[in-house]
Amino acid sequence: MNRDNSKGKILISRMLIWGLVQFVLLLIIIGRLYYLQVFQADKYKTMSDENRISSRILVPPRGIITDRNGVYIANNKQNFQAMLVAEQANNVDETLQKFKKIMPLSETEEARIKRDLKRYRRFVPIKLKDGLSWEDVSKILLVSAEMPGVIVDDGLSRDYPFGKQMAHVLGYVAAVSENDLKTDSDPLLETPGFKIGRIGLEKKYEKQLRGTGGSLKLEVNAVGRIMKEIERKGGESGQKLELTIDSRLQQKAFELFKDESGAAIVMDVNTGEILTFLSMPSYDSNDFVKGVSQDTYQALLYDEKQPLINKAIAGRYSPGSTFKMVVALAALEAGAINRDTRIGCYGKMDFGNHLFHCWKKDGHGALNVVEALQHSCDIFFYEAAWKTGIDKIAAMARRFGLGEVSSLRFDDEKAGTIPDKAWKLRQLKSSWQGGETLIAGIGQGYVLTTPLQLAVMTSRIANGGKMVEPSLTKVSEEKIYQYKNMKINPLHLALVKEGMCSVVNRAGGTAARSAFDYKGAKMCGKTGTTQVRRITLQERQTGIIRQEDLPWKYRNHALFVGYAPHDNPKYAVVVLVEHGGGGSTVAAPIASALLKEALILSDEEMR
């Protein structure tokens, strides 16, 4: 019994020890609860929010671009695209295989998807295929249960309704490159499928067209399904951009060019607003939005007509006879000639050891400056240039905007070359030769200009010597008022303009066949035909090979610069047809048709 008593006592005392142990263990639990729920609460609250809140960037619609009449020339259209969220797919490869059975993917597409899968985080939707039709969408949705992670999204994609016609004005948007990411920290760039202005106005006005991204905070569950919207910040749509281009005139120019290669510009001589800005041949901007295949791109890149080059600003051409106005003005200003100076042309002249030819083998006889322009006599301008000197000619050319980059500030714009003595010494490390002044006098040799520069030059002649600058966006009244006067003797300008009007409107003028009379408004201008190959002495003796018999790339460039109406100039035009043959036969008719159309359209607006 004694023993049993102690047995009970042991039990109770041991039980109390065990009870104490349990009490301590429960205290540890409470301590742990305190540690997690009070001490570390903030840390876990953040983690909990990271779990449940999924932030997304809302891509703003890109700014629309319209022509001067409000016609959409760059727009956003609804685009159904199939996306893949890797995180939600059980097996990404398997899902891709299933998707391919419904919607075949090209090798390029597949390579891009693989690249994107590596590049983006697992919860970011990756584009599988876009531009889906309703039929495609329903096909995908029908089997979407078997392809977890595949979703159909209706986004916006850039659309260029005028396709090829506006390609060199607008450029295009394309996928973001690694380089863009380095230079631009906008988080929008990291959203998959985002397109950035790659070239042209799309690039130049990227900032304002892009807008600012909004943000969306969503509550998601463990498998990523959206439960509710927590917060939405709007962001801002891209700004609308209104251009000075007239899509009707642009289309007219496009049609007039047919298969020819070259450039055409129509510019308002008083404001500098550009109504037509064409480079031919062109490409379809829409192709680049989707991403062109390597083959297509190579074909465009190595095409001898160079469709990817914007010839209006990046093509450097000898201005040829269209340079003669500048030479005439420089000669008049320098006093090398006056309005009555007559120079005899006999088809050729000796200078040093060289024989310099006029385009007209038998010569023009004695001509004054107006007649020399009308007939585009080379001998007159050899003489005038020689008497004036290259430095004065170059200075005059620069005043007209030649040889320098314009205010358009396109990345690919070229400055061209207006040579003078210092330039030659600097660039070619040799001194200027007298004969080179003669060659420059007819706009050949080292002289290189872009069609845009010629348009500026023509506008400045037509508007009476105001330093108008080209613009693709509306020019304010204030800006027009601020255009400086070039301080050119109005009498000299009048002579040159008379010469230009004679070219078109007098019998024997080089562009007489392209004359028009629209309600009394006439065109004035100047033709230019520039050689791209040297004519040998032997060839001159045996007879110059006819243009049609030469391979395309050896044919002459055809040029025409002009303005209308003759008495109160409004529009200037430049047409350059690469290897087109003669300025009077090929370029002038296009320029004439364009100017007439511009006048008709402007007339309609007035009414």
Partner 1 sequence: MYKFYKTGFRNPNLSLKEKIYNLNFSYLFFIFLLAAVGVMMLYSAANGNWQTWAIKHALRFALSAVIMFALIFTDIKFFLRYAYYFYFATLLLLIAVEIYGAVGKGATRWIDLGFFRLQPSELMKIALVLALAKYFNATPVSSIETISGIIPALLMAFVPAALIMMQPDLGTALMLIFTTAVILFTVGVQIWKFAAVGVGVTALLPVAWMFLHDYQKQRVLTFLNPERDPLGAGYHIMQSKIALGSGGIFGKGFMNGTQSHLNFLPEKHTDFIFTMLSEEFGIIGAVMVVVINFLILLYSYAFAMKTTSYFGKLTIIGLATNYFLYIFINISMVLGLIPVVGVPLPLISYGGTVMLSVMASFGIILAMYVNRETNLGKD
Catalytic residues: 321
How far CA 594 is from CA of 313, 422, 499, 551, in Å, comes to 19, 39, 21, 28
Part of the chain binding partner 1 (CB under 8 A), chosen from 1-9, 72-80, 130-138, 170-178: 1-9
Report the residue number, 152 or 220, with the smaller CB distance to partner 1: 220
Query: Residue 179 in contact with residue 203, Cβ under 8 Å?
Result: no
Number of H helices, E strands in the chain: 24, 21
Which CB atom, from 214 or from 224, has the smaller least distance to partner 1?
A: 224
> Bridge-partner residues for 232, per DSSP?
216
Residue 143 near partner 1 by CB under 8 A: no
Q: Give the shortest CB-12-to-partner 1 separation in angstroms.
A: 6
Contacts of 375 (CB under 8 A, 6+ apart): 360, 364, 367, 508, 509, 510
**10 near partner 1 (CB under 8 A):** yes
User: Can you tell me which of 14, 339, 342, 553 binds partner 1, judged by CB under 8 A?
Assistant: 14
Q: Which is nearer to partner 1, 23 or 346 (CB)?
A: 23
Kindly state whether residue 121 participates in binding partner 1, applying the rule CB under 8 A: no
d(CA 382, CA 473) in angstroms, rounded, equals: 40
Where in 207-266 is the site for partner 1 (CB under 8 A)? 219-223, 227
Which of 1, 24, 38, 606 touches partner 1 (CB under 8 A)?
A: 38
**Residue 149 beta carbon to partner 1: minimum distance, rounded to whole angstroms:** 16
Distance CA 15, CA 13 (A): 5
- 28 is an interface residue for partner 1 by CB under 8 A: yes
φ and ψ at 18, to 5 degrees? Answer: -60, -40
Which positions ≥6 away from 364 have C-beta within 8 Å?
Answer: 345, 358, 371, 372, 375, 377, 379, 380
Q: How far apart are CA 199 and CA 309, in angstroms?
A: 11
Using CB under 8 A, which of the segments 11-19, 101-109, 110-118, 145-153 binds partner 1? 11-19
177: helix, coil or strand? coil
Residue 32 is a binding residue for partner 1 (CB under 8 A): yes
Q: Does 22 bind partner 1 (CB under 8 A)?
A: yes
Start-end of H helices in 153-193? 167-170, 178-183
Is the alpha carbon torsion for 443, 449, 451, 453 positive or negative?
negative
Residue 24 binding partner 1, by CB under 8 A: no
Q: Interface with partner 1 includes 18 (CB under 8 A)?
A: yes
Question: Binding to partner 1 by residue 3, rule CB under 8 A?
Answer: yes
For partner 1, the closer CB: 216 or 532: 216
Secondary structure letter of residue 323 according to DSSP: G
* For partner 1, the closer CB: 27 or 299: 27
Nearer Cβ to partner 1 (28/366) = 28
Quick one: which of 23, 346, 552, 554 contacts partner 1 (CB under 8 A)? 23
Task: List residues near partner 1 by CB under 8 A.
Answer: 3-4, 6-8, 10-12, 14-19, 22-23, 25-26, 28-30, 32-34, 36-38, 40-41, 43-45, 47-49, 51-52, 219-223, 227
